Amino acid sequence: MSISKTKDLLGQLSQLESTVSAFSFEELNADQANELKSSFNSFRTSLEKHIYTPNMDEIVANKMEVTATNQQDISEKQFITQVSHEIRTPLNSIIGFANLLKEEKLTKGQHKKVDAIQFASNTLLKLINEVLDYAKISSGNSKFESVDFNLHSLLKDVMFLCETLVLDRKIELLIEIDENVPKIITGDPSKLSQILLNLLGNSVKFVERGFIKLEVFTKQRNDNAFLLEFSVADTGIGIPKEKMDTIFNGYIQAADDTCKKYGGTGLGLTITKEIINKLKGNIEIDSTVSKGTTVRFRLPYLQGNIATLPNKSIKKAKHNFKTELLAGTEILVFEDNKMNECLIVEQLTKWGCTVHVDTDLDKGLYVLSTKKIDLILMDLKMPGQNGFEVSRAIRSHKNAKVNSVPIIAFSADFTQQDSEKCKEIGINDFLLKPYTLEDLQTTLLKNKENKIEQTEFLSILQKPMIEPKETTVVDLNLLLKDCFGEIDMLSQLVKLFKINAIEFIGNVKIHLKSGNLKEIGLSAHKLKAGFAMIKAEGMRKLIVELEHSCKANELEKVKELYEVFLNDYPLLEDNLSKELEIMKKK
Amino acid sequence: MGKRVLLADDDQLLASLLNFRLKKGGYEVHHSANGKEVKEYLKNEMPDIIVSDIMMPYFSGIELIDYVRNDLKSKTPIIIISSAGNEQNVLTAFELGANDFVTKPVSPTELLVRIQREIYK
């Protein structure tokens, strides 16, 4: 069942594909445009691979027939999890970039097209969510909605999306709704729009000139039960007779020749037919080569009630972003996918946040201890690093400034086990990819408030315990004199000093791995002078000791001293920044 | 035109401070962070004074003195910057013809006085 739903995705996908390729990328910089396109392509390829791997359907079908034993249950879930991750991650980028695009200065036409991308990708997301809903899969119920909806506005939305697809072609889009078609009906609106988009999308593909026409009328009526007939007619290339028999078996053909044929053979029709059958309707096709094609389908609906329609104004109020609340928030993001990094940095920066991105635990810890980080966003499934382990290391860090920062994990898939692990480690919240801007914002705000409470608590606790540690003391007065009192020069030197210290940390990290004490000694030697300049006598002594230990080839001692350095340096840098700030004010 | 100082030091922090102070003192400064570059520079131009760190990548301060005195046959004053506890290096430098030295951490004021003394000797 899940696999047939996955197949449904393809119809949406081809829709999204045409939209993405029809989009004019002039207003984007080349990188963004390429990212969007390549993201889409990788998305498509991975989806196709999963769906069209020969026998995959059989395998899953067999599994479904045999009453599920535990083992089968597990492997099925694994399969779904894998697909889920691969689909969600790129879809996240598509939705995210579309959102960002909308905030830029676009022409009217471009704006419409971005709307179309959003509409299509949101539909796709909805479907994916259904496919991946573990509860539904394990209970084996494929549910169809039965809600009241406004048929006319659904048709309007669908036509609008098609219009954006044919903007640059000489095609007339026509719609005719018979008077006797009720406005409000009860049924599954998302399935209907999916069917219509599949059919209209096919027409758009094959029509060069002429028209595409959607007609709707009531075929039968029995009290409040309707049988509606929809027809999509076009002046496209048509379908040869010999192919008419197999047209609804598109995906069997595609299985032989996987992706190639899928592009043009109306695979959408197979999907469409499946859905229509499930909705207890029927479909037929009529076509003449080089004249055109007409597809008719009939679906049963019930008369709907206008009073039960969801109130749109409530929905709108929800989308009112309170971005000003996030301004000034400093966020550390652990993410090693360039695309996602680019996306999240842009999103957060737009809201006035300061963003640091790291892939590496050590660098991250360094940022955490030297900057005032309000929140951590953690990608759990980074290829090179395990987000759980990174989170664990942060939580078990000695420095309260580091270990108390709220962590929000995000991932494209998330199991019950993951959730327990998060709790155990102390991860505060969770975002499932793809997330909407609203999701992201709500989660950030919620956890930022947590942080405020936490820090107040911590500062009360810590105040009486703070005693200046010798290794963290600095004095910039002499250096300021050397700079003839020029604060800008002093700032520049402090900045250089910090860079040197970071380089030192990096160098030691590399050379500790290979046990190259000579290089570490050299690095320590270079750093020493800097500590002398800022009168950090305690830390300078530690570095001198470290340099000597290197010369004496005492690896364990070097490691020990470096640990102390790593722990104390951030505090020293804090003091350095504070003192500089005070001097600036004077 | 101010007197020209060649500052050879790979410690960006110290070099920045010295550069700043020398310029304030009316000197023209050419700063280089590695020995190779220093050598290239000296092929075309001879400054009024050279200030060099002993430890530098590719070409040490000691080699630099040797190069200036023996290859280029120049008597341009050279002040070396040495780390504390590196007395042996300082002695070698003097043997090869260095004029003066300062020890890290360097006081810019002290270095300026020494530079002035060497140039106007």
pLDDT in tens, A486-504: 899 999 899 889 888 888 8
A159-188 residues labelled b (16+ CB within 10 A) or e (exposed): bebbebbbeeeebebeeebeeebbebbbbb
Cβ A482–B14 below 8 Å, yes or no?
Answer: no
Strand ranges for A64-165 from DSSP E: 147-150
Q: Give the 3-state secondary structure percentages of chain B, helix then strand then coil, rounded to 5.
A: 45, 20, 35
- Hey, what are A30's tokens? 């080349």
Strand partners, A175: A214
Candidates A484, A500, A525; nearest CB to B13: A500
Stretch among A215-224, A414-423, B17-26 having the lowest mean pLDDT: A414-423
Q: Which is higher by pLDDT, A378 or A340?
A: A378
How far apart CA A341 and CA A358 sit, in angstroms, is 9
Q: Beta strand pairing status for A210-222 and A171-177? A: parallel
Cβ under 8 Å to B: A residues 123-142 = none
pLDDT band at A441 (very low <50, low <70, confident <90, very high): confident
Preceding peptide of A434 cis, ω within 30°: yes
Greatest Cα pair distance, chain B, in angstroms, is: 38
Mean pLDDT of chain A: 75
Q: What's the distance, CA A582 to chain centroid? A: 42
Predicted confidence band at A134 (pLDDT cuts at 50, 70, 90)?
very low
Confidence label for A75 from pLDDT (cuts 50, 70 and 90): low
Distance from A401 to chain B by nearest Cα, in Å? 29
b (16+ CB within 10 A) / e for A224-240:
eebbbbbbbbbbbbbbe
Which residue segments constitute the domains of chain B, with CATH numbers given?
4-119 (3.40.50.2300)
- Chain-centroid distance, C-alpha A527: 41
Q: What is the pLDDT of residue B67?
A: 94
A513-528 mean pLDDT: 88
Identify which of B55, B83, B105 has the shortest CB distance to residue A533.
Answer: B105
Two structure tokens written together for A433:
């990819």
Any chain A CB within 8 A of the CB of B107?
A: yes
CATH number of A470-585: 1.20.120
**Cα A123 to Cα A117: distance, rounded to the nearest angstrom:** 10
Q: What is the pLDDT of residue A460?
A: 37
| Residue A544 touches chain B, beta carbons under 8 Å | no
What's the CATH code, domain A144-305?
3.30.565.10
pLDDT tens sequence across A557-584: 999 999 889 888 988 998 899 899 888 8
Interval B97-108: pLDDT, tens: 999 999 888 888
DSSP conformational letter for B67: I
Proportion of chain A above pLDDT 90, given as a percent: 15
Report chain A residues whose CB lies below 8 A from the CB of B24: 484
The pLDDT confidence band at residue A84, using thresholds 50, 70 and 90, is low
Q: What is the pLDDT of residue A397?
A: 86
Mean local confidence (pLDDT), A73-79: 53
Q: Which CATH architecture is the domain A1-143 placed in?
A: Up-down Bundle (1.20)
Cβ distance A496 to B108 less than 8 Å, yes or no, reads: no
pLDDT of residue A466: 41
CA distance B63 to chain A (A): 19
For residue A274, the one-letter residue type is E
Our measurement of the distance from residue A58's CA atom to the centroid of its chain's CA atoms, rounded to an integer in Å, reads: 31
Of all helices (H) and strands (E), which one includes residue A300? Answer: strand A292-303
| Predicted pLDDT of residue A63 | 42
Residue A145 — very low, low, confident or very high, per pLDDT cuts 50/70/90?
Answer: confident
pTM recorded for the entire structure = 0.37
Q: What is the pLDDT, as a whole number, of residue B64?
A: 93
Structure confidence at residue A121 as a pLDDT band (50, 70, 90): confident
Where do the H-state alpha helices sit in A295-434?
312-318, 338-350, 361-370, 387-395, 400-403, 416-425
pLDDT digits (tens, 9 = 90+) for A193-232: 878 877 887 787 778 788 999 999 999 988 889 999 999 9
Q: Determine the Cα–Cα distance for residues A114 and A98; give it in Å rounded to an integer.
A: 6
Residues A441 and A322: beta-carbon distance below 8 Å: yes
Peptide bond connecting A189 to the previous residue in cis, omega within 30 degrees of 0: no
Distance from CA of A13 to the nearest CA of B (A): 55
Cβ proximity of A116 and A94 under 8 Å: no
CATH number for A329-465: choose from 3.40.50.2300, 3.30.70.100, 3.90.870.10, 3.10.20.600.
3.40.50.2300
**Nearest CB to A483; choose among B11, B20, B107:** B20
Query: Which residue does chain A place closest to B81, by CA atoms?
Result: A529
DSSP-derived letter for residue B11 is -
Q: How large is the average pLDDT for residues A25-53?
A: 56
Whether residue A483 and residue B17 make contact (CB cut-off 8 A), yes or no, is: yes
User: In A120-238, which ranges are E strands?
Assistant: 147-150, 171-177, 184-187, 210-222, 225-234
Residues of chain A with CATH 3.40.50.2300: 329-465
Contacts of A534 (CB under 8 A, 6+ apart): A474, A475, A476, A479, A494, A497, A576
Counting DSSP H helices and E strands in chain A, the numbers are 24, 12
Instruction: Quote the minimal CA–CA distance from B73 to chain A in Å.
Output: 31
Q: Which of residues 13-52 of B touch A (CB under 8 A)?
A: 13-14, 16-17, 20-21, 24
| Residue B83 sits at the chain A interface (C-beta within 8 Å) | yes
Q: Pinpoint the residues of chain A covered by CATH 1.20.120.
A: 1-143, 470-585
**Minimum CA–CA partner of B10 in chain A:** A526
Q: In the prediction, which pLDDT does A540 show?
A: 92
A482, A483, A529 member nearest B104 (Cβ): A529
User: Using 50, 70 and 90 to split pLDDT, how confident is the model at A314?
Assistant: very low
The more confidently predicted of residues A84 and A540 is A540
